Structure 1
Amino acid sequence: MTFSKKDPIDALFRAWDRPDSPGCALGIYEDGEPLYMRGYGCAQLEHGVPITPTTVFHVASLSKQFTAMAVGLLAQSGRLSLDEDIRRYIPELPEGPLLTLRHFLHHLSGLRDQWDLLRLAGWRPADLRTTGDILRLVTRQKAQNFAPGTRFQYINTGYTLLGIAIERVTGVSLREYTEEHLFKPLGMLHTAFQDDHQRILPGRAQAYSMRPRGGWKINVPPYETVGPTGLFSTVEDFLLWERNFLRPIVGDAAFIQLAMAPGAFNDGRPVSYGFGLMLGEYRGLPIAEHSGGDAGYRAHYLRFPEQRLAVAVFANALEIHPTVLARQVADVLLEGRFQSAPEAAADNGPSGHELSSRVGLYRDQWSGITSKVELWEGRLFLVPSTGGVYELLPAGPERFRFLNVDAECQFTSAGQMLVKYGAQPTGLCERVALEACGTKALVGDYAGTYQSDELGVRWVLDVSGEALVLKRERFPDARIEFTADDEGTTALGDFHLRFTRDGGGRVNGLSLCAERVWNVSFARL
């Protein structure tokens, strides 16, 4: 078959098309048939194995659509209900407001995210994480980030609980259920949930990341947890998954329509997340998509339902950005069919003066987390107190998109910054006067031992010179940088602290926030 756009598409992957580098597998599907599939780069650097369309990748959060499909099939057969409280299936969860499976499917649960919880509870990146570890930690939580159904927040915990519910209803593992009811019927013979990290997967790509001084190192996720992640697949198998959306074998047309429909908040407003897929637009055309990333694995699946076109890009290096590549592939394939021009390039954006006017400290009204907007060498960056550094690229009047992340922020004349993820508002930040930074209290006022029953940890805050230092088991000491009275973040910028005081003004505890874990309580002992 002759593919006329082969050369411009191959050019997009040229940087990774070499035998001494990790790379990508690309799948392009039209009307449920293969249009172009190819590998670029190396699947295993140690053995010089090239990437092909049959190379097996960990696809991280692309797993969610398969977990959601399994939930939908069980609901369709009457074995579970999308509107039933999750505690019917997992009764050991703490009491609280109604939490339905539908809340979890559409990320409306308000639960605290499992990855942040594990990190705060003392897990290091190389530690093995299991579904049992996550469930035990979730059952200790006494509060949620917000009331279910009132806001959107992308939370992995809900999909872990969906996986557990599937296992308890069916009596078999999520891996076994999906193999029998999804993958075998579709012919996806190289796709499976990996619930045993020691299980051998023929054809698997190794994952890598670049060392600071150059050279590749192995970077694989130490997981034995499935539901939100844990799926391994190939771009060849994803052709069969795409075909099922167009000509269903698993489920029927009505079921596929339900899976592709947006969820809804309690007040009826739509939320742009279906059954494990983000729903939105790209350059004026409707899309359904999802990205995934764990350790050195990266993946993106992009569907244009009206054009019956889809793109899958799986990668085995942290430095590769499949979301960007998939959209660039779509730009080539659908040239002349989009409703709008490509997003504005950074060099056509605001002047340096306009960028500098955005610099400052912002506080989220919902979580209390602070973020700095900083200007480095003419480029704008968002630096949350909970960790991460995100470059902001001009995308329209007062609007900036995150580099390599499906998120954006918009500044208002009232001094606010609205943050959106997947077109859904996730943060509303007020500008804070920089002179308000720091604290009037003596750092010794905060010294002591603090305990969190929810995390099962004790932390020590000690004075070193004129600084307050956090001491945690298994982690380096971290200096606290105050951003306001009784508030601060670590010098590493991985979470935000708010100290509490009793009626006499004595510090008696603290409240801890990470990106997707809000207001965990610590008592001062």
Structure 2
Amino acid sequence: MQMNFLKKTNIPQILFLILVLSSCGNNNKPKEKTVSTIEDTLPKMKPLGREKRLPANYIHSIKGSINHFYTKNWPNNSMNGSFLVARNGHILFERYNGYANKNEGTKITATTPVHIASVTKVLTATAVLKLVNAGKIILDQKVNTILKTFPYDECTIRMLLSHRSGMRNYAYFTDRDKSVWDRHNQLTNKDILEILATKNIGLEAPVGTRFAYCNTNYAMLALIIEKITGLRYKEAMYQMIFKPLNMTNTYVFDNEKDRKKIVPSYKGNNAEIGFDYLDCVYGDKNIFSTPRDLLKFDRARNSPDFLKPALLKEVYTGYSNERQGQKNYGLGIRMINWETGQNFYFHNGWWHGNTSSYITLMKEHVTIIALSNKMTRKTYAIRKLAPIFGDYPFKFKEEAE
């Protein structure tokens, strides 16, 4: 029976089929390995871990001072947002007030993600710095070695991070000329790069010659993150920062998936602010988060595992002081540098009706965060809390009375 089968069967065909099947099996394995390798090789943030506990009498005494500030800044719980103060990662004081969505009657809670506006830049810069730290890119690498169509030859990653590229703000050059962009269409990061490459958009200043805060820088940094990681910015941020730090209420806005479920923003008169053509650009904005999640992020940035010491020093070096002064900008962080040697690190944000403020008092291990989805400048007043923790020359006592 077996002999008859062999006689009727073309043995070379059988061998060929075996080789093809074997080859197909081998081809499948690298594909699976490639997908997992992208995530496995990404540099990721690490939690700081357990910090020193605070004495109960200290917590009790400091709460009174913070509450005093809170009731003066937001009388009658008038804040429409969230507020948190922590030391050594332990929450000293937090409040959540107002509407997440007025039409639906939902209130803001500790787990309500609010648009953090330009505080997003701190997170984008963190992802870029982790890529630098891992040797995947170099701070002084030319941008056009990564984004091939980027037209400004001398611009580097460091210049994007420190706002020294000389580029114009995309919100301006896409708003005024229909031949550049039709505002009926949603603008994306890739669209901005295409416009820069093809529309002869001039610079505000020669590359590297002066500081000028500009959202275009961080839209380009988001594209660099995508190019280097092989992932969408949204996924890269999740894999590198949100997931390892257990930031469960933080995400990058996705216009297709999140448009109907996000926390909207409001004008000061409670009128809801709708979407516009700039709402799909990310990297400079478009992260939604909570104070508790941002606390996890802040403590991880204060971990010895965050960056190598030499690189960390460059992050907190000022790059915007052509004229001698106290205000300065590092690599993705604002700062105030006093002659006494005291330094104050922070970042504020504003987008539509959302305002945000993130403060990290590094020497005192203090984190102060305020987020609001209703237009107000009171969010930025939280810096007045710094003097109760250290030698910061803000007028806490006089202005809080």
TM-score (norm 1): 0.57
Asked if 2 retains the 8 angstrom alpha-carbon contact of 1:183 and 1:191, the reply is yes
1:37-48 matched pairs, under 5 angstroms: 37-48=94-105
Compute the displacement of 1:219 (Å): 4.1
How far residue 341 of structure 1 moved from its aligned partner, in angstroms, is 6.0
Q: Which has the larger radius of gyration?
A: 2
Deviation at 1:79, TM superposition (A): 1.6
CA distance in 1, matches of 2:386, 2:299: 18
Q: Once the 2 structures are TM-superposed, how far is the Cα of residue 78 of structure 1 from its aligned partner? A: 1.9
Greater CA deviation, 6-15 or 103-112? Answer: 6-15
CA shift at 1:306, angstroms?
Answer: 1.9
CA contact (8 A) 1:103 1:149 kept: yes
Q: 2:264 aligns with which of 188, 194, 206?
A: 206
Query: C-alpha offsets along residues 62-99 of structure 1, whole Å, 9 cap, x if unaligned?
Result: 111111111111122222122111111111122x4411
Matched residue type, 1:8? H
Paired AA for residue 37 in structure 1: E
Q: Kindly state the Cα deviation for residue 157 of structure 1 after the two structures are TM-superposed.
A: 0.9
Distance 2:183 2:375 in 1: 15
**2:174 is aligned with 1:121:** no
Go from structure 1 to structure 2 and tell me whether the alpha carbon gap of 1:197 and 1:315 turns closer, same or farther (over 3 Å shift).
same
State the alpha-carbon separation in 1 of the partners of residues 109 and 255 from structure 2.
Answer: 23
What are the superposed Cα offsets for residues 388-427 of structure 1, whole Å, 9 maximum, x if unpaired? xxxxxxxxxxxxxxxxxxxxxxxxxxxxxxxxxxxxxxxx
CA drift at 1:189: 1.8
**In the alignment, does 2:202 pair up with 1:148?**
no
- The superposition leaves residues 446-478 of structure 1 with CA deviations (integer Å, 9 ceiling, x where unpaired) of xxxxxxxxxxxxxxxxxxxxxxxxxxxxxxxxx
In 2 relative to 1, CA 17–283 (structure 1 residues): closer, same or farther, beyond 3 Å? farther
Once residues 318 and 170 of structure 1 are traced to their aligned partners in structure 2, the CA distance between those partners, rounded to angstroms, is 36
Which residue pairs with 1:342 in the alignment? Answer: 395
Query: 1:291 maps to which residue?
Result: 348
Matches within 5 A, 1:447-466: none
Matching residue of 2:10: none
CA distance in 1, matches of 2:327, 2:135: 25
Gap runs ≥5 in structure 2: 1-55
Q: Distance in 2 between matches of 1:78 and 1:246?
A: 21
Post-superposition CA distance 1:147-169 (Å, at most 9, x none): 12211100111111111112112
Q: Secondary structure at the match of 2:386?
A: helix
Q: 2:222 aligns with which of 135, 158, 163?
A: 163
Amino acid in structure 2 at the alignment position of 1:74: L
Tell me the distance in 1 between the aligned counterparts of 2:104 and 2:150.
46
Find the counterpart in structure 2 of residue 387 from structure 1. none
Structure with greater proportional helix content: 2
1:189 to 1:253, Cα distance in 2 relative to 1, 3 A? farther
Letter in 1 for 2:168: R
Aligned in 2, Cα 1:265/1:316: closer, same or farther, shift over 3 Å?
closer
Cα deviations across residues 253-310 of structure 1 (Å, max 9, x unaligned)?
A: 55544433333789xx999212211011489742111111111111111222222222
Instruction: Measure how far apart 1:201 and its partner are.
Output: 8.4
2:163 pairs with one of 103, 107, 113? 107
- Letter aligned with residue 190 of structure 1: N
Quote the offset at 1:173 in angstroms: 0.9
User: Contact 1:25 / 1:51 at 8 angstroms: preserved in 2?
Assistant: yes
Distance 1:340 1:239, change over 3 A: closer
How far did 1:207 drift? Answer: 0.7
For 1:327-406, list aligned pairs within 5 A: 327-330=383-386, 333-334=388-389, 337-338=390-391, 340=393, 342=395
Matched with 2:88 is 31
CA RMSD of superposed structures (Å): 3.3
| Alignment of structure 1 residues 89-104 onto 2, 5 Å | 89-94=146-151, 96-104=152-160
User: Residue 6 of structure 1: CA displacement?
Assistant: 4.9
Contact 1:288–1:302 (Cα < 8 Å) also in 2: yes
The 5 Å alignment of 1:461-476 reads none
Task: Pick one of 117, 120, 137 that aligns with 1:60.
Answer: 117
Residue 78 of structure 1: aligned partner: 135
Cα distance in 2 between the residues matched to 1:236 and 1:345: 29
**Paired position in structure 1 for 2:23:** none
Whether the aligned pair in 2 keeps the contact of 1:179 and 1:192 (CA below 8 Å) is yes
Given the superposition, is the C-alpha separation of residues 247 and 64 from structure 1 closer, same or farther in structure 2, using an over 3 Å criterion? same
Q: Classify 1:185/1:133 alpha carbon distance in 2 versus 1 (closer, same or farther; 3 Å).
A: same
Structure-2 change in CA distance of 1:66 and 1:341 (3 Å): closer
1:224 is paired with a residue whose SS is: coil
2:298 aligned partner: 242
Residue identity opposite 2:134 in structure 1:
S
- After superposition, the Cα gap between the structure-2 partners of 1:92 and 1:29, relative to the gap in structure 1 and judged at 3 Å, is same
Does structure 1 retain, via aligned residues, the 8 Å contact 2:251–2:288?
yes
TM-score, length basis structure 2:
0.73
Cα 1:319/1:263, change in 2 over 3 Å = closer
Any conservation in 2 of the 1:33–1:239 contact (CA below 8 Å)? Answer: no
Is it true that 1:223 corresponds to 2:276 in the alignment? Answer: no
- State the Cα distance separating 1:42 from its structure 2 match: 1.6
User: CA separation in 2, counterparts of 1:126 and 1:304?
Assistant: 43
Name the amino acid aligned to 1:217: E
| Closer/same/farther in 2, CA of residues 114 and 293 from structure 1, 3 Å limit | same
The answer to whether the Cα contact below 8 Å between 2:327 and 2:337 also exists between their aligned partners in 1 is: no
AA aligned opposite 1:30: R
Asked which structure has the greater RCO (Cα within 8 Å, sep 6+), the reply is 2
CA distance in 2, matches of 1:216, 1:132: 32
Work out the CA distance in 1 between the residues paired with 2:77 and 2:275: 21
Secondary structure (helix, strand or coil) at the match of 2:131 reads helix
Distance across 2 between alignment mates of 1:300 and 1:145: 28
| Residue 245 of structure 2 is aligned to residue 186 of structure 1 | yes
| 2:193 aligned partner | 135
- The CA deviation at 1:328 is 3.4
Residue pair 1:182, 1:250 contacting (<8 A) in 2 also: no
**Contact 2:386/2:392, CA 8 A, preserved across alignment:** no
8 Å CA contact retained: 1:69, 1:259: no
2:374 to 317, 321, 326: 317
Secondary structure in 1 matching 2:124: helix
More strand by share: 1
